């Protein structure tokens, strides 16, 4: 069985593109291929002109991935300490950590141990990690899953700001409404194939708050 089969999608800069489809339709796999975490068997994928197989280091310089998995931080470290590790790995100055924590409303909990964070706080910390590197391509895999309404609004603002700043944003989601109208396009996947690719400009204008 192929996780992705003949998928052809091109997403221009400054665009928010939703990936929708049932569980197992290939949304997460597509994001993970673009993040260079999964090696495709065939075909090609370019991120900012860099091939995900042959030029994966360059791809990782411009991509950030946020997943719904909250197991990607050290439980015994604080939120700030966790982000300081990733700042170090990405060559980002340490003072950027405080800024991104503030952007996701975690400044007050920065010194708390990660193990004490709620699911929503963990999700926001993952978002903060993605923002650390100011990525030109932001990949979000079910980012609204654990968020309350206030946190979801923060995320929508981050998505909108990223797109307005020229970043490409791909969001895998089951509910387009979660994007609150901040979505330019929706690509529907079924069994690893693209079955629909819709311009959502009109729909977004209707649902935008």
Partner 1 sequence: MTTRRLAGAFLRRDVRIMRSYRAALVGQLLGTLLFLASFAVVSPIISEDFGDRYGAGYLAFAAVGIAVTGALLSALQAFSESVREAQLEGTLEAVLMAPVRREAVVAAMGAYPVLAGTAAAGLTLAVAAGLAGGFDVHPVSVLLALVVSLAAFAALGLLAAAVVLVAKRGNPVATLIGMVGAVTAGAYAPVDTFPGWLQAVADVNPLTYALDAWRSATLRGEGPGAVAGELGVLGTVAVVVGPLAWWVLGRAIDVARRDGTLVSY
When asked if residue 68 is in the footprint of partner 1 (CB under 8 A), the reply is no
Q: What is the largest CA-CA distance in the chain?
A: 47
H/E stretch holding 85: helix 79-90
76 binds partner 1 (CB under 8 A): yes
Choosing from 9, 45, 68, 77, the residue that interacts with partner 1 (CB under 8 A) is: 77
Question: Which of 2, 5, 13, 39 touches partner 1 (CB under 8 A)?
Answer: 39
Which among 28-36, 102-110, 161-169, 196-204 is the span making contact with partner 1, rule CB under 8 A?
Answer: 28-36
Contacts of 45 (CB under 8 A, 6+ apart): 33, 34, 51, 52, 53
Distance from C-alpha of 59 to C-alpha of 181, rounded to nearest angstrom: 28
Beta bridge partners of 113: 78
CA distances in angstroms from 28 to 35, 78, 105, listed in the order given:
10, 28, 26
Measured from the CB atom, the residue of 52 and 200 that comes closer to partner 1 is 52
By CB under 8 A, tell whether 29 contacts partner 1.
yes
Q: Which is nearer to partner 1, 29 or 151 (CB)?
A: 29
Where on the chain is the footprint of partner 1 (CB under 8 A)? 3, 29, 32, 35-39, 41, 57-58, 60-61, 63-65, 69, 71-77, 81, 84-91, 129
């Amino acid at each position: 069985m192929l996780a992705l089969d003949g998928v052809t999608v091109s997403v221009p800069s400054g665009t928010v593109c939703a990936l929708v489809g049932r569980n197992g339709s290939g949304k997460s796999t597509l994001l993970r291929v673009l993040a260079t975490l999964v090696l495709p068997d065939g075909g090609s994928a370019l991120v900012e002109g860099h091939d995900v197989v042959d030029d994966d280091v360059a791809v990782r310089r411009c991509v950030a991935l946020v997943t719904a998995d909250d197991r990607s931080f050290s439980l015994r470290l604080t939120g700030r300490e966790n982000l300081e590790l990733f700042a170090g790995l990405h060559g980002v100055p340490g003072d950027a950590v405080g800024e991104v924590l503030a952007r996701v409303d975690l400044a007050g909990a920065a010194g708390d141990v990660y193990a004490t964070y709620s699911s929503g706080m963990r999700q926001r910390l993952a978002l903060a990690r993605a923002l650390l590197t100011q990525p030109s391509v932001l990949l979000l895999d079910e980012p609204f899953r654990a968020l309350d309404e206030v946190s979801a609004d923060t995320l929508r603002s981050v998505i909108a700001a990223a797109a307005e700043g020229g970043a490409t944003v791909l969001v895998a989601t089951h509910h387009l409404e979660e994007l609150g109208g901040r979505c330019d396009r929706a690509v529907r996947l079924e069994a690893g194939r693209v079955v629909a690719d819709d311009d959502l400009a009109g729909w977004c204008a209707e649902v935008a708050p």
